[in-house]
Structure 1
Amino acid sequence: MIRHIVCFRFRPGVTWADPRAEAAERISRDHPRHIPEILSWTVGRNATPREAAHDFAVVGQFADRAALQRYQTHPDHQRGVRAWSELSTWVVVDLDDTEGALLAGEAR
C-alpha cells in the first residue's frame, strides 16, 4: 500500500475567505467520486494556529505505485493541481506501507 500525504500552505494574502480556496477544497474532497484508484481518502483544514502548520492536507491510500501513478495523471487530479497551484505551495510524502510493514515484522 502507498499512503499519499500532501500538505498545502496558502501563498501570502490567500485565506479561506478566497472563493478559490473553497473551490480547491471541494475538488480535493470529491476526488474519490471520480478516481477509482483511491482506496481511502481523508482531507481537512488545519485546526491549529501553529507557525509550522500548513493550511490543508490530504491523505490517500493506493494499492501500489502503479495505482498512485494513475491517480496522479487522472484528469480530476490534474484539475485539483491547477486549482491549488493558483493559491498555495505544497509538500508531498508517499509512504510505502509495504516496506514499513516489513520493517515492523523484522523488529519482532
Structure 2
Amino acid sequence: MITHIVFFKLKDRTPESIESTAQVLRDMEGKIDELLHLEVGKDILFTERSYDIALVTKFASLDALQAYQVHPVHKKVIEHMTSVREASVSVDYES
C-alpha cells in the first residue's frame, strides 16, 4: 500500500475559501478507480506554521499512484489547486 499525503496553504485563507477547496478535493472520491482511500482535513489551530488543508490518499501500488497522477479528474483538481495554493508539500511512503 502507498500513502500519499499533501498539505496545502491557500492564498485566500478565509473559511469559505478553505471549505470550497476542500470540497474540490473530496469530489475526487469514487471517480478514480486507483484511489482506495481519500481523507480531507481542514486545520483547526490556525498557527503561523499551519497549512490549511491535508489530503491523505492510499493506493495499492506505485503504479496505481502514477495512474492517479495523470487521471483526468485529478488533472482538473491540479489545475484548481495551482490557482488557489500559496504553497504545498507532500510525502509518499509504503504503508
TM-score, normalization by structure 1: 0.78
Identify, as 1 or 2, the structure richer in strand.
2
**Equivalents in 2 of 1:37, 1:16: separation in Å?**
32
**Equivalents in 2 of 1:93, 1:74: separation in Å?**
19
The residue aligned with 1:90 is 88
User: Is the contact between residue 4 and residue 61 of structure 1 (CA under 8 Å) also seen in structure 2?
Assistant: yes
CA offsets 1:47-103 (integer angstroms, 9 cap, x no match):
112211100011011001000001010011111111011111211111112xxxxxx
Q: 1:76 to 1:16 in 2, by over 3 A?
A: farther
User: Percent identity between the aligned chains?
Assistant: 33
Name the amino acid aligned to 1:35: I
- Calculate the aligned-residue CA RMSD, in Å: 1.6
Identify, as 1 or 2, the structure richer in helix.
1
The residue aligned with 1:5 is 5
Q: Gaps spanning 5+ residues in structure 2: where?
A: none
Q: Gaps spanning 5+ residues in structure 1: where?
A: 98-108
> Between Structure 1 and Structure 2, whose CA radius of gyration is higher?
1
Provide the aligned length of Structure 1 versus Structure 2.
Answer: 94
Instruction: Please tell me whether residue 67 in structure 1 is matched to residue 64 in structure 2.
Output: yes
